[in-house]
A and B are shown apart, each in its own frame.
Chain A
């Protein structure tokens, strides 16, 4: 029971930390307010969510074919596309493109987090900058993210000021405006000097090979357009049949993330190009000359064929469920591994293939069911947690792959 004990200790420490519960209390209140307003302003979202659920129900069972189609489309756009079956394979492909000694700017990506991408690139002698503000703070603090969309949700402005003062050698006051401007200045230079930009994607259209990236800060735009090489690491489950479907997925995702509309929706289908001189298509105009997309399997194809747990792949990562979880409200990302909350227990079980890692998480779910009420895909995470417990008891080998 040592894994459970160590996990429980971390969970208890978080639950006793008033900084976490106070930050979360504010975040939950403003999330709920934002999402209520966004849904009121765009009431068609609820129906759209039902449509997206149907798109997912149709896409997931034929995920393999859709990924193949997306790869072909990307290649047609003169990008390069790969399918990595394991995290090791993905890292090997990325190593082959990046090498070492590079300056890399990176957008926030849970899939990157899943395979410890930043740590790996740093070990290979690259200088890597997280460019999402929250993620950048997390990187500076040398800790793990506490929330999908707001990784530094538990860090107050006073601590951020201390951190930035250390980095810049100047005295940065605990004023949010100044802090944001300081980070802008630090990272601006990195965007334009970086040889490689990295990102994920919220949805991918199989027919056009287009990546959909939702963001507010503008860091993903810069990461995917300023450096000469851009690489996207995407979970296989993100692919939907058409570009129209992908728009629907994107809209439901940002609305349930609490936005009426995000500042940016970035669409990337291939390397930048121009035909302005003699109508000769030439690659590498203002944007990247090379574009790579790596689709990550890591347990997803197994999940896609599992009638009980398939639903986990419908997750849009809007993060709405976390704001409704009473346990997350006091422990934040400590209730999870790389993926959080009840749904995170299922993801952990299948992407790591390690049931012993998932067991403490699935036994942390209160099975209260409020996450399901919030979820735009109506994913029944608590029920899946109970089914996972059943597998842990009944099959309980060391890995999901044995089952």
Chain B
């Protein structure tokens, strides 16, 4: 690819691309699957829980993005910082992880992936995970316009998944789930893996009578991630789940819900091209959600999670929390 052509693609997206091509994940991290330690998950299962990138590196991503936003707001060339990030990555130093350790670092037990697996296990759903061997869905390459590279990474992912005899994937990140379910069949000829989203699997079991209960009552609103609602059509399950958890008072957002839901400002790589504006959009969305009077915002996407948390911070909304649905479910999972 010529330099001239690359120049048309925003640098933030080129960095994500570079990370996928060199490290197999969007954050360029060398260490993967730390979240799964001690969960007793094996890779020898027909049904695999697909972790994806976003939730694994949530703390690092949140910290990096917030640093980038501060620079972008002041008109500083943060792309160069990202350039440095990629340079350090080549040396094996991951700045995002470093930032994450220094600033946010939430307990591992609260990681949405861990919560999700514990919820699945609590519902007797037998699944494994590929841990370090999990391939990247390569979705961001597709979104950035590198469709040929996406196709070749997808082929590689197919080989890994099918060699291990996987027949079913439970996806967690909406965009990974979309890539595996909708894009893979478009780009691959022999893709025969059934792909469901975590929320669908959970709702199936809840319908059969599995009970969840929160220790304290909370008024909760729900933010539809664009990919889940408009691309995968998954709008009923999360609402049914919320309505079925004891202790959850579900407050629906007015109008901007389901297929009319407002984007959190973090779609299609927008947040790494226009960090400041992305932050404004996140704040706007949080304002809509808080009009419901809810004290907790629940969503089901790592990108939305970061965006909404930033928005809540910006609005200085006292006591408002942003949870992933998996975290909420884990808290409401009956012990034993």
Contact = CB atoms under 8 A, between A and B. Distances in A.
A17 to B, nearest CB: 11
Contacts of B231: 369
A396 B259 contact: no
Interface stretch (B34-42, B87-95, B266-274): B266-274
A321 B265 CA distance: 17
A394 B6 CA distance: 10
Contact of A355 (B8, B144, B265): B8
Contacts of B255: 32
Given A370-B263, A386-B145, A15 B277 contact: yes
Interface in A308-361: 324, 326-327, 329-331, 355-356, 359
Interface stretch (B9-17, B59-67, B107-115, B290-298): B9-17
A22 interface: no
6 contacts: A366-B265, A366-B281, A367-B267, A369-B231, A392-B9, A393-B1
Classify the interface of chain A: helix, strand, loop or mixed: helix
Interface string A1-33: 100100011011001000000000000000010
Interface in B224-267: 226, 230-231, 255, 259-263, 265, 267
B270 A364 contact: yes
B270 A1 contact: no
A310 B11 CA distance: 30
A363 interface: yes
Nearest to B5: A396
Contacts of A359: 8-9
A390 interface: yes
Interface of B: 1-2, 4-5, 7-11, 13, 75, 142-148, 226, 230-231, 255, 259-263, 265, 267-270, 273-274, 276-277, 280-281, 284-285
Tell which of B11, B265, B268, B274 has the most Cβ of chain A within 10 Å.
Answer: B268
Given A356-B8, A373-B260, 12 more contacts: A15-B276, A326-B262, A366-B265, A366-B281, A367-B226, A367-B268, A370-B263, A386-B142, A388-B145, A389-B145, A390-B147, A394-B147
Contacts of B270: 327, 364-366
A365 B268 contact: yes
Contacts of B1: 393
B143 A386 contact: yes
Contacts of B262: 326, 368, 370
B328 to A, nearest CB: 24
Contacts of A391: 145
